A = this chain, B = another copy of it.
């Protein structure tokens, strides 16, 4: 029995007589043989593994879902995923990419990449790179969600219920950054809100909007305290509002807290809609929100990467994921 024959039965290729196959399979069972994938990788110069770099705002369920989607897509196609948490730091992100490159992964997906140079690093090394949520590098493929459409749907839902005086709480909107930068998600959500109101013949007044500044927390997301304090400000400066769109579930949760403290009933006195659909379902009242298909995003990103690996050519496609409005119990017609 030669190793070549064994290799042939293991992979079902080449010619091998039924009898030999029989004998080899027998021997494999008895010897408790287990294929050594690292030798295989070395020889094939292909590792069937992908890097997943993300930024764990520890309190943010978003990344967890993406990771699970990624893991599932990879598993279904026989790939492995190497997990790195760069915690929003460009230096750590860089080190993660280097480590992945040393390990000869076939591709890396960035969930909310921090530095464009890091994704270019992967590209230059000749492997495929996919960006999730934030487009930093024009050469990489990406999976993004249409924040504008999502926020439009949220606002129009409120308008459809009869609301006109609708407030907004969200992340600070940086001035004039280009369309595909890091700020785009927050700006898109805000713009969609403003445009929708405008279309309804009720452009928002300045006092209806509270968006920053606030101290950015780990990972760059507004926390629940932020939401509460924004809501309080909004109540003071625009008491006539009948509904509020929040740029994230986290912010909405904070808003709900401050409203609860004040004894104001949701949705009876005020409607609230969130964004993300992370723990929206668990709040009291259950929060109407715009679902981001986080699992699907992770899934698609990995599938895209694998497609490029198997298929050869790497193009900079941008895959769009649709959001979905989930109506629960925090929205109702105005009082």
Would you call A322 an interface residue if the criterion is a C-beta within 8 Å of the partner chain's C-beta atoms? no
Q: Which residue of B lies closest to A57 (CB)?
A: B68
Nearest-neighbour CB distance to chain B for A1, whole angstroms, equals 21
Number of A positions contacting B (CB below 8 A): 53
A residues with CB within 8 A of B: 34-39, 41-42, 47, 49, 52, 56, 58-59, 61, 63-65, 67-68, 71-72, 75, 80-85, 98-99, 101-104, 125, 224, 250, 253-254, 256-257, 259-261, 279, 281-286, 295
Q: Which residue of B lies closest to A255 (CB)?
A: B284
Please name all residues of chain B whose beta carbon is closer than 8 Å to the beta carbon of A82 when the two chains form the complex.
49, 80-83
The one of B34, B61, B283 in contact with A283, judged by C-beta atoms closer than 8 angstroms, is B283
Please name all residues of chain B whose beta carbon is closer than 8 Å to the beta carbon of A52 when the two chains form the complex.
83
Are A284 and B253 also in contact (CB < 8 A) when A47-B38, A64-B63, A102-B37 are? yes
Please name all residues of chain B whose beta carbon is closer than 8 Å to the beta carbon of A99 when the two chains form the complex.
80
Decide: A38 and B41 in contact? CB cutoff 8 A.
yes
Please name all residues of chain B whose beta carbon is closer than 8 Å to the beta carbon of A254 when the two chains form the complex.
282
22 example contacts (A-B, Cβ-Cβ < 8 A) are as follows A34-B98, A34-B101, A34-B102, A38-B38, A38-B42, A38-B47, A38-B104, A56-B71, A58-B65, A58-B295, A63-B64, A64-B64, A64-B67, A71-B83, A72-B85, A75-B84, A75-B85, A80-B82, A253-B283, A254-B282, A257-B286, A279-B279
Are A259 and B282 also in contact (CB < 8 A) when A41-B38, A295-B58 are? no
